[in-house]
Amino acid sequence: MDPLFYQAFLAFDSGRYDEAERFYALALAKYPFSQYEQYKQAAHGLAFTCCFQNKFDQAREIYTNLYRVAQDAHDLQWQAIVLHQQGVVERMAGNFCEAQAMFQKEYEFRVSHLSDDFAGFAANLYEQGHILLKLGDPAQALTIMHRSLDMAQQANDAMCLGCAYRGLGEIYAALDEHDRARTCFSLSGQAFEQAGDQVAAEEVRRFEMALL
């Protein structure tokens, strides 16, 4: 791994976003489009870091460029990833309707080109369910989040399972169905532990304890 990426990852993981941005920007300047794998990693890392600093216009520009590069490379997987991340940008910016439209675009792209990517569908449906909850439609959010769980189970992906169960827990909590919410948070914590994400596991345990 290029030391720039390693330093950027460590800085991001520690919440030092200014430092992470600097390292990712250096990496992006180092790797042109022709060095596709490194360019993707640098662009994605920089754009995502910008989101955590509320630099949403910069993130949008980087992801737009990355999408064009992925199209030129006929890289369907990364086209879907970038569509997903463009939805994440709008969600983090608080533009929930725009985010939902982007996640729907990603979903349709996956149906057409990546129909067997169950983990990708699980992540997409999680975001759609999460946004529906934010938009005040917990009933529809519940339906979508159950679909996310189904896809996560088909993928047998612990991280996706953790997210889907956490999403269900949040929806059930909003519906005042606290027993179901606690069960989902418990299952989410177990899945996150299996995935090795102790931070997420502890977070859902706090959610669970708050409902006691």
User: CATH number of the domain that 170 lies in?
Assistant: 1.25.40.10
Residue pair 39/31 in contact (Cβ under 8 Å)? The answer is yes
Question: CB atoms < 10 A from the CB of 58, how many?
Answer: 17
Clarify whether residues 93 and 1 are in a common domain. Answer: yes
In a domain, 111, yes or no: no
Out of 42, 64, 99, a domain closes at 99
Clarify whether residues 34 and 94 are in a common domain. Answer: yes
pLDDT beyond 90 at 125? yes
- Segment 173-187, tens digit of pLDDT: 999 999 999 999 999
In a domain, 105, yes or no: no
Clarify whether residues 89 and 156 are in a common domain. Answer: no
Q: Which domain holds residue 33?
A: 1-99
In a domain, 106, yes or no: no
pLDDT beyond 80 at 1? no
At a CB cut-off of 8 Å and minimum separation 6, what does 201 contact? 162, 188, 189, 190, 192, 193
Clarify whether residues 162 and 204 are in a common domain. Answer: yes
Q: What's the pLDDT score for residue 212?
A: 81
Instruction: Say what the alpha-carbon torsion angle 60, 61, 62, 67 is, to the nearest 10 degrees.
Output: 80
Report how far apart, in Å, the C-alpha atoms of 79 and of each of 61, 70, 83, 99, 120 are. Answer: 15, 6, 6, 16, 12
Question: CB atoms < 10 A from the CB of 15, how many?
Answer: 9
Clarify whether residues 34 and 126 are in a common domain. Answer: no
**CA–CA dist 1, 81 (Å, integer):** 21
Residue pair 170/148 in contact (Cβ under 8 Å)? The answer is no
In a domain, 207, yes or no: yes
In a domain, 143, yes or no: yes
Clarify whether residues 65 and 120 are in a common domain. Answer: no
Clarify whether residues 208 and 149 are in a common domain. Answer: yes
Per-residue pLDDT, averaged over 111-132, amounts to 98
Clarify whether residues 2 and 54 are in a common domain. Answer: yes
User: CATH number of the domain that 50 lies in?
Assistant: 1.25.40
At a CB cut-off of 8 Å and minimum separation 6, what does 51 contact? 59, 88, 89, 92, 93
Out of 99, 125, 158, a domain closes at 99
Clarify whether residues 139 and 209 are in a common domain. Answer: yes
Clarify whether residues 92 and 139 are in a common domain. Answer: no
Say how many domains are in the chain.
Answer: 2
Per-residue pLDDT, averaged over 60-77, amounts to 97
Clarify whether residues 75 and 15 are in a common domain. Answer: yes
Percent of the chain topping pLDDT 70: 100
